[in-house]
């Protein structure tokens, strides 16, 4: 008999086991698909049946959710999509500030355009206009006004 004090599992290992999920895509079936459908329903991107069948409607819900949390919209539920589904927010997004450039900056600029805070070109360069748009957005969302796209700002942008 093993007592609880003899266990060697750390909290991190237990959490890792709990989020270890299969990769799902159209054609997948089973309990993991039911869990996926329940999560998609919870986040408001799926209204179909919870039947364990990963069909076209489930795939569209996955793509809609992936778009919301700034993931590649491929309809495949792998580790990052599972993690985002559990928290309902973007995961592993970089902190961005003036001087940064690239695809993540374009993502921020598109979201800020949708929120009517950004009026510049979606060019991937985090300059003065992008910084002003970020501060405007942060102010409206009652976030700390830093001009830096941090975890809280990513989360707020995912709700746009």
Tens digits of per-residue pLDDT, 98-124? 999 999 999 999 999 999 999 999 999
Distance CA 16, CA 100 (A): 32
Domain boundaries, the chain: 10-87, 103-158
Are 91 and 69 in contact by the 8 Å Cβ rule? The answer is yes
Residue 3 in this model has a pLDDT that exceeds 50 = no
How does residue 6 score in pLDDT terms, banded at 50, 70 and 90? Answer: very low
Residue 15 in this model has a pLDDT that exceeds 80 = no
Tell me what pLDDT residue 8 has: 39
CB atoms < 10 A from the CB of 37, how many?
Answer: 22
Fold equal for 10-87 and 103-158: yes
pTM here is 0.81
Pick the CATH number of 103-158 from 1.10.20.10, 3.60.15.10, 3.40.50.1110, 1.10.101.10: 1.10.101.10
Instruction: Tell me what the pLDDT averaged over the chain comes to.
Output: 90
Residue whose pair of structure tokens reads 């459908």 in the numeric block: 37
Pick the CATH number of 10-87 from 3.10.20.520, 1.10.101.10, 3.90.740.10, 3.40.50.300: 1.10.101.10
Tell me what pLDDT residue 153 has: 98
Tens digits of per-residue pLDDT, 130-151? 999 999 999 999 999 999 999 9
Are 112 and 134 in contact by the 8 Å Cβ rule? The answer is yes
Tell me what pLDDT residue 19 has: 66
Tell me what pLDDT residue 20 has: 83
Distance CA 19, CA 87 (A): 12
User: Nearest-CA neighbor of 70 among 17, 101, 33, 106?
Assistant: 106
Which position has the higher pLDDT, 89 or 13?
89
């Amino acid at each position: 008999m093993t007592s609880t004090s003899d266990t060697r599992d750390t909290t991190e290992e237990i959490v890792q086991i709990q989020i270890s999920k299969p990769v799902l895509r159209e054609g997948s079936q089973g309990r993991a698909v039911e869990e996926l459908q329940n999560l998609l329903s919870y986040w408001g991107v799926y209204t179909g049946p919870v039947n364990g069948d990963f069909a076209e409607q489930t795939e569209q819900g996955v793509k809609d959710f992936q778009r919301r949390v700034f993931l590649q919209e491929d309809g495949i539920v792998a580790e990052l999509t599972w993690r985002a589904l559990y928290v309902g927010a973007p995961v592993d997004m970089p902190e961005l500030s003036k001087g940064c450039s690239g695809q993540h900056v374009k993502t921020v600029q598109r979201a800020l355009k949708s929120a009517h805070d950004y009026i510049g070109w979606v060019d991937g360069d985090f300059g003065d206009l992008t910084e002003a748009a970020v501060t405007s957005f942060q102010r409206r969302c009652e976030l700390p006004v830093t001009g830096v796209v941090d975890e809280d700002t990513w989360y707020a942008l995912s709700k746009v």
